[in-house]
Structure 1
Amino acid sequence: MHMKSAPHLLNEDRAEYQRVLDEALRNAHERPDLAAVGLRLNAEQLRTMALNATALIAASAAAEYEHYVKVRREMRTSAAASASGSVLSPAVGQSADGGGAGFAAVIAVLAPVLAGTAAAIFLLVGYILKMLSPTPSFADALLTAGWFFGALTAAAILVAAVGLLLTALRNGAAQVAEEVPAGELPDEVSRAKEAWRHALLERGILPFLRAALADPSADPASTAPPRPVSRIPKIGFSGPEFSSPAEGSTAGQRPTFTSPDFTSPDFGGPEHRPD
């Protein structure tokens, strides 16, 4: 049957199925073929029946749904690839443009480390030489160089912090700009979704509601949820009739058998042959 080959609705599409169903029930008064809504079966009963028959109804729009899921998956794959590429493209592009930004990033990272190391070495050696007697003449020069590299370290750290802050702000603004149109589906995905909704409504939900309203076995007074109305004809089979034999008839009596009489043959010599 076609229903077995139809894909099951994904969890993210079940809400859309319910929206199409609710729209059909809400606009039922505009359709003459659904004018009986509220007489025998109300909208809530029909909604429960349609939700119980989701697989049957969704099978009527299986081709459109498969196309919609395929197009949406391709769109998400391409969007994920472009997003990952946009993260790497600024660094790659900046390095390609003369390598200025890449070189600046390297300097911003290495400058504080190198300047701090030089400052520590010069200051340590300078103060050790100051402890000697007599004090070497170049001890003051080492201390001056140490303090110079110390100031350079502080400046490099400040520049690196400002650079990181600007980079974070720029990336955050780019991410917000990318997320603004994300709520709008591309044209191809939107058309595929609308085609599935239309097929689901015209070939699935509306015929099911008409069949439910025309089914006399649906009991609107029952407190239990009404059973889903299947549009698949039922095939009935009747078993062969078996009747027990009537009492007193001879047809049911067992036949009687008599065992044959067997007599042993007379065996003997020639002298015992009968005359």
Structure 2
Amino acid sequence: MHMNSASHLLTEDRPEFERLLDDALRTAPDRPGLADLGQRLNSEQLRTMVLDANSLVTAAAAAEYEHFVKVRAELRAPAAASVRASVLSPAADGATAGAGLAAVLAVLAPVLAGTAAVIFLLAGYVLKALDPAPAFGSTLVTAGWFFAALTAAAILAAAVGLLLTALRNGSNEVHPESEEGGDELSDEVARARDAWRHALLERGIVPFLSAALADPSAGPTAPAPYRAAGRMPDLGYSRPDFASPDEGQAGHERPSFTSPDFTSPDFGGPDHRPE
């Protein structure tokens, strides 16, 4: 990633840039260079100008931002690799398949057994209420109570299985902050982020606002990105030099033209008459 010219922030870092800008505008009365805020340009106008020139402003802290993004990527890489490895490993695939089958059985067994218990008990007691009662009515009632007991056992087994699964997943959970070197890397990311924020505020946002307030030609209608000529601090770029194509060519003269002479075809002197 090369950010030596125009620095383009990642999407996740743009809100932080806007927060720094809002903080600078809110604390403008405490800064000597921003004391004129509100006299000619208000906060909303200055905010719009900075956002229009965001590439120019963020380029002032390009080096710090590049370091911050690099360190943050290094912190995220081990966690992403461990998750990817655990998902793609054969053991994980087998465990996932086993857990899926167990979950299906844990759900279906109580439902099927309970349904059978209700059917057998309902049919058995209806038949036993008849007069005379059929002999297999008692058999249906006995089968119904058997499935009812089976339903209770399936529910208990499912609860125990869920508890064991939760305990096993809790013991295997990976905490990035507990890994060796994780805390040090997190501290380095925090330091890199603070360094980028400080550089962006002090070398980018505040100088831009000061230059805009100091230039009487700057205003809401100024072209974007706004550049206050002669007052904008050096942000790591130089404006191109433009010269007229004729400039610097000594002795160059513009082409001269003379109008042609026209005479009437019938005019040939006082003694000449047309035929």
TM-score with structure 2 length normalisation? 0.54
Change (3 A) 1:35 1:239: same
**Correspondence for 1:217:** 217
**Correspondence for 1:197:** 197
Q: CA deviation at 1:87?
A: 8.4
Please say if 1:238 is aligned against 2:244: yes
1:162-201 equivalence runs, <5 A: 162-170=159-167, 186-201=186-201
Once residues 219 and 151 of structure 1 are traced to their aligned partners in structure 2, the CA distance between those partners, rounded to angstroms, is: 82
Once residues 165 and 78 of structure 1 are traced to their aligned partners in structure 2, the CA distance between those partners, rounded to angstroms, is: 30
Q: CA deviation at 1:81?
A: 3.6
Q: CA deviation at 1:36?
A: 1.2
Please say if 1:75 is aligned against 2:81: no
Instruction: Report if the CA contact (8 A) 1:48-1:225 is conserved.
Output: no
Q: For 2:13, give the aligned amino acid.
A: D
Please say if 1:42 is aligned against 2:42: yes
Please say if 1:12 is aligned against 2:12: yes
Once residues 78 and 8 of structure 1 are traced to their aligned partners in structure 2, the CA distance between those partners, rounded to angstroms, is: 26
Question: Which structure has the larger Rg?
Answer: 1
1:1-275 equivalence runs, <5 A: 5-83=5-83, 157=154, 160-170=157-167, 186-219=186-219, 224=221, 227-230=224-227, 235-240=241-246, 243=254, 245=256, 252=258
Q: What whole-Å deviation, never above 9, does each CA across 1:132-167 have from its counterpart, x for those lacking one?
A: xxxxxxxxxxxxxxxxxx999879855641333113
Q: For 1:237, give the aligned amino acid.
A: A
SS in 2 for 1:211: helix
SS in 2 for 1:48: helix
Q: What whole-Å deviation, never above 9, does each CA across 1:3-22 have from its counterpart, x for those lacking one?
A: 76454210110000001111
Instruction: Report if the CA contact (8 A) 2:60-2:204 is conserved.
Output: yes
Change (3 A) 1:24 1:171: farther
Structure 1 unaligned segments of length 5 or more: list them.
Answer: 93-101, 117-149, 246-250, 255-275
Identity %: 51
Q: How many equivalent residue pairs?
A: 194
Change (3 A) 1:82 1:152: farther
Once residues 11 and 216 of structure 2 are traced to their aligned partners in structure 1, the CA distance between those partners, rounded to angstroms, is: 33
SS in 2 for 1:40: coil
Q: CA deviation at 1:240?
A: 2.5
Q: CA deviation at 1:78?
A: 1.7
Instruction: Report if the CA contact (8 A) 2:21-2:47 is conserved.
Output: yes
Instruction: Report if the CA contact (8 A) 2:7-2:62 is conserved.
Output: yes
Change (3 A) 1:236 1:215: farther
SS in 2 for 1:186: helix
Q: What whole-Å deviation, never above 9, does each CA across 1:165-209 have from its counterpart, x for those lacking one?
A: 11344367679996999xx99211111110100110111111111
Q: What whole-Å deviation, never above 9, does each CA across 1:100-155 have from its counterpart, x for those lacking one?
A: xx9xx99x96xx9xxx9xxxxxxxxxxxxxxxxxxxxxxxxxxxxxxxxx999879
TM-score with structure 1 length normalisation? 0.54
**Correspondence for 1:129:** none
Change (3 A) 1:33 1:205: same
Instruction: Report if the CA contact (8 A) 2:79-2:176 is conserved.
Output: no
Structure 2 unaligned segments of length 5 or more: list them.
Answer: 110-146, 231-238, 248-252, 261-275
Once residues 87 and 167 of structure 1 are traced to their aligned partners in structure 2, the CA distance between those partners, rounded to angstroms, is: 21
Change (3 A) 1:226 1:46: farther
Q: What whole-Å deviation, never above 9, does each CA across 1:36-55 have from its counterpart, x for those lacking one?
A: 11111111111000000111
Q: For 2:11, give the aligned amino acid.
A: N
Instruction: Report if the CA contact (8 A) 1:7-1:66 is conserved.
Output: no
Bigger Cα displacement from structure 2, 235-244 vs 12-21: 235-244
Once residues 30 and 78 of structure 2 are traced to their aligned partners in structure 1, the CA distance between those partners, rounded to angstroms, is: 42
